[in-house]
Structure 1
Amino acid sequence: MPSEPAITLVRAEQLTANAPYAYAAVTAPGRLVFTAGACPLDADGATVAVGDVAGQAQQVMANLVVALQAAGAQLTDVVKTTVYVASSQQADLGAAWDVVRAAFGEHDAPSTLLGVTVLGYDDQLVEVEAIAIRREADAT
């Protein structure tokens, strides 16, 4: 009998198929979820809210929610995030953080907030990756 793969890559149908990577990965026995960096892309793969850090952060968090759901998790299952902002201005980092923090509500998981030089997509300013855990009942 074949064994279950150690890693299952998750691709969310609601997110653009143009991304050259899976949106999340779940490890055997199916509890840990590692997301790719959620990007400010619409379903067609176009960058939204060009020039608007907060607007992009809103799309990023919406996309992160979809990726987590596709992997059997939700924001309250997140163990840690890393937030990347393509800016050297602390005000821009703060604008992105305000949106990310609001999306998590009272679930204040540890996070790292970084200013970086450039991100992978044209006009991209914000990216958020997460590590989450699926609840025992949801793990398969």
Structure 2
Amino acid sequence: MSDSPQIRLVNVPALGHAPGYSHLAEVRGGRTLYLSGQIALDAQGEVVGAGDFAAQARQVFRNIELALAEVGCTFDHVVKLTFFLTDFAHLPEMRAVRDEFVKVAAPPASSAVQVAALVRPELLIEVEAVAAAP
């Protein structure tokens, strides 16, 4: 469960165990924020961690963190993450990095999709986020 009274993250017993994500996020009131897909670029537009999935994932999550901070939010406000990976073999690494940023006891609703490629050939991950702000 999120610490925010406006966000309720739920796992539905009838849907079975949800390892590392919540089945649904209920948002009551507030503002809804839709973050564009973030990739592993730094402030100068340079790729961070070419060939290093974990380094790219951390940069992506830092970029999301920066975007959220710009409007006074944190990862506590994130209700949905969508992961685009060029190879599902990186899923365990992605989860480990994600867990550095989200509350593991009540993670956001999530989806993961394997894609053939991202906007730049050296990129291995892109992440979209939806957040609920007070």
Report the counterpart of residue 123 of structure 2 in structure 1. Answer: 124
Secondary structure of the corresponding residue to residue 119 of structure 1: coil
**How do 1:35-114 and structure 2 match up within 5 A?**
35-87=35-87, 90-106=88-104, 107-114=106-113
How big is the shift at 1:30?
A: 6.6
CA distance in 1, matches of 2:92, 2:102: 15
CA distance in 2, matches of 1:110, 1:101: 13
CA offset digits 1:63-120 (Å, max 9, x no partner): 0000111133210001101011112xx3212212221133113341111112111111
Identity %: 33
Aligned residues: 105
**How do 1:18-33 and structure 2 match up within 5 A?**
31-33=31-33
Q: What code does the residue aligned with 1:111 have?
A: S
Unmatched tracts of structure 1, length 5 or more: 1-28, 136-140
CA distance in 2, matches of 1:102, 1:31: 25
Scaled by the length of structure 2, what TM-score is found?
0.72
CA distance in 1, matches of 2:86, 2:59: 15
Scaled by the length of structure 1, what TM-score is found?
0.69
Report the counterpart of residue 16 of structure 1 in structure 2. Answer: none
Question: Which structure has the highest strand share of the two?
Answer: 2
Over 2 Å off, 4+ runs: none
Checking the alignment, whether the CA contact within 8 Å between 1:33 and 1:71 is kept in structure 2 is no
Q: What code does the residue aligned with 2:74 have?
A: Q
CA distance in 2, matches of 1:32, 1:82: 16
Higher relative contact order (CA 8 A, sep 6+): 2
Report the counterpart of residue 26 of structure 1 in structure 2. Answer: none
Unmatched tracts of structure 2, length 5 or more: 1-28
CA offset digits 1:43-76 (Å, max 9, x no partner): 1001110011111000000000001111332100
Q: What code does the residue aligned with 1:119 have?
A: L
Query: What RMSD over aligned residues (CA atoms) do the two structures have, in Å?
Result: 1.7
